[in-house]
Amino acid sequence: MKLLEANTVYGGYGGADILKGATVHVDKDEIVVIVGPNGAGKSTLMKAVFGLLHVREGEVLYKGEAITNGKPEQMVRRGIAYVPQEKNVFPSLTVEENLEMGAYLIRGDIRPRKEKVYEVFPKLRERRRQQAGLMSGGERQMVAMGRALMIDPELLMLDEPTAGLSPRLIDETFERIIRIRKLGIGVLMVEQNAKQALAIADRGYVLATGANRFEDTGPNLLANREVAEMFLGG
C-alpha cells in the first residue's frame, strides 16, 4: 500500500487555484523529490497535503485513508511530520526545547526519541543548551529536521531543506536525508537544487503551473533531455 497519495489536487490560497491536478505518491523507505520552476506550486502542494490550505478538489490519502483537508494536529498524530522552508525553529527556545516541542503530542518518555535524533545529528547533542535563534542556517536546519523526527514519523515532508545553505552543507543535508530514509521513513521533499536532489531521489516529479509535467525515477529524470533543458538549467 502506498504511504501517501495526493490525487489530482486542486486548490490555492482562496483566490484562483495554484494547484491544478497535481498528483504525487510516496512509498515507505522512499525519497521522492518535487522539482520545477518558481511558482509551479511545489510548496503549495506540500501545504495542501498537510492541511495548511484548502484542497478544493481531489483527495489526499494516507495509508489508504482519506485525510483531505485534515488539521495539522491530526497529521502529526498519524505520523506525518512537516518542516516548513523558513522560520522552522523556535528561536528563543534551546535546541533541546525545540526537540521537546516536536514531541508535544507524545505521551510518555521522549528521551529515547531525543537520543535517536542526536544520533542522526550529533552536533545537536553538543549544542543542546544553545538558543536555536543564535545558530547558523545549517544548524537551524538540523534543529528543524530533528524537531520533525521527534514524533518518529513514517513520512517526513521537507520544504527546500537546502535553501540558503553553502555547498558543503547542502551535501551534508542530503546525506542526512539518505540516513533518515534508512530509518524506514518515507521522505517527500521540494528542492531548488534539483540536480543534486534527483541524484539521491528514488523517484521525482517535475511540477509546472500546478500540474505534473514529468514523473520518473531520479536517474531517469536527470537523464531526460527535455527535463534538463527546461528545468535543470541545461
Q: Which residues bind other proteins (CB under 8 A)?
A: 50, 52, 72-73, 76-77, 82, 84, 87-93, 97, 100-102, 104-105, 147, 151
- In the complex, what is the shortest distance from the CB of residue 111 to other proteins, in angstroms, rounded to a whole number? 14
Amino acid code (one letter) for 18: I
Shorter beta-carbon distance to other proteins: residue 99 or 208:
99
CA gap 23, 59 in Å, rounded: 9
How many angstroms separate the CA atoms of 228 and 56, rounded?
32
Q: Which is nearer to other proteins, 68 or 98 (CB)?
A: 98
DSSP letters of 124-162?
HHHTTTSBGGGS-HHHHHHHHHHHHHTT--SEEEEE-TT
Going by their DSSP bridges, the two strands 65-66 and 80-83 should be labelled as unpaired
How far apart are CB 94 and other proteins at their closest, in Å? 9
Nearest CA to 206 out of 51, 65, 33, 39 is that of 33
Q: Which is nearer to other proteins, 94 or 193 (CB)?
A: 94
Cβ distance to other proteins smaller for residue 92 or 217? 92
Q: Which residues, in sequence order, are CB contacts of 194 under 8 Å at separation 6+?
A: 33, 35, 231, 232
Find the shortest distance in angstroms from Cβ 108 to other proteins: 12
End-to-end C-alpha distance for the chain, whole angstroms: 36
Q: How many CB atoms sit inside 10 A of residue 26's CB?
A: 25
Residue 46 C-beta: closest distance to other proteins, Å: 11
Q: Which is nearer to other proteins, 51 or 210 (CB)?
A: 51
Q: Please, which residues bridge with residue 55 across strands?
A: 11
- Taking the least distance from each CB to other proteins, the nearer of 71 and 229 is 71
In the complex, the smallest distance separating the C-beta of residue 61 from other proteins, rounded to whole angstroms, is 20
**Residue 92 carries which side chain, given as an amino acid letter?**
S
Burial class (CB in 10 A: 0-12, 13-18, 19+), 78: middle
Shortest Cβ distance from residue 27 to other proteins (Å)?
23
CB of 148 to other proteins, least distance (A): 8
Measured from the CB atom, the residue of 46 and 221 that comes closer to other proteins is: 46
Q: Provide the residue type at 169 as one letter.
A: L
